[in-house]
Amino acid sequence: MLAQQSSHPTSVPSTSYTVTLLKKQLRQLEESKTIEGVSVGLESNSLYQWNISFAGPSDTLYEGGYFQAMMKFPEDYPNSPPTFKFLTEMWHPNIYSDGRVCISILHAQDEFNDQEPPETRWRPILTPEDVLISIVSMLSEPNINSPANVDAGIQFRDKPDEYKKKVRKLIDKALENL
């Protein structure tokens, strides 16, 4: 007897699986106490686009700031990673000037980067909470070895006082716009 083949490849979850998983992970993130001051909402009622707000991590340059971001999930989530983009203007070596975040956990396994071991890249067992924890960690400890924003990386390395002033100015500006 032949097994009936699914219309979807086994490596791509069905839309209903993705929706169920995203609902569960959204609820878990809303209930989580791991990340201080996090707030999550849906953009246009879409489970595939989350509005995220969170306070800057304690004991970092970003402490006292309040940041808004968008996390978008692909249709084949969790097989492919979400994207994360700050809506608040940021100055950081690992954040592009348009707000997109560049960290290993958001890179797919098949993306070539000889500076990232496969175990640091996206895997389907990871969650949006894991992404946020990584982003909070990134704010605390920038990786200047592979900067997304080269100018911020150079300033962070060579002129740390100017870097700190610029970050503080952006945080103050963001707080004024709340």
Give me the average pLDDT of each 10-residue run along the chain (178 residues). 38 73 92 82 91 91 93 94 96 97 86 67 91 92 92 97 96 87
The dihedral over CA atoms of 70, 75, 76, 79, expressed in degrees to the nearest 10, equals 10
Q: Is 14 a catalytic residue?
A: no
Q: What is the pLDDT of residue 18?
A: 92
Q: What is the pLDDT of residue 15?
A: 79
Locate tokens 């070596």: which residue? 93
Residue pair 105/132 in contact (Cβ under 8 Å)? The answer is: no
Single-letter amino acid code for the residue at 113: N
**Residue 100 and residue 87: Cα distance in Å, rounded?**
9
**Bridge partners, residue 38, by sequence:** none
Q: What is the DSSP letter of 100?
A: B
Q: What is the pLDDT of residue 35?
A: 80
The edge-to-edge listing of strands for the beta sheet with 66-72 is 39-43, 46-55, 66-72, 83-86
Q: What is the pLDDT of residue 153?
A: 96
Instruction: Write down the catalytic residue from 102, 103, 105, 132.
Output: 102
Q: What is the pLDDT of residue 8?
A: 37
Q: What is the pLDDT of residue 9?
A: 39
Kindly state the helix (H) or strand (E) to which residue 19 belongs, with its residue range: helix 15-31
Q: List phi, psi (to 5°) of 99.
A: 100, -10
Q: Which residue, 80, 83, 71, is CA-closest to 35?
A: 71
Q: What is the CATH number of domain 15-176?
A: 3.10.110.10
Question: How many Å is the Cα radius of gyration of the chain?
Answer: 18
**Residue 140 and residue 58: Cα distance in Å, rounded?**
9
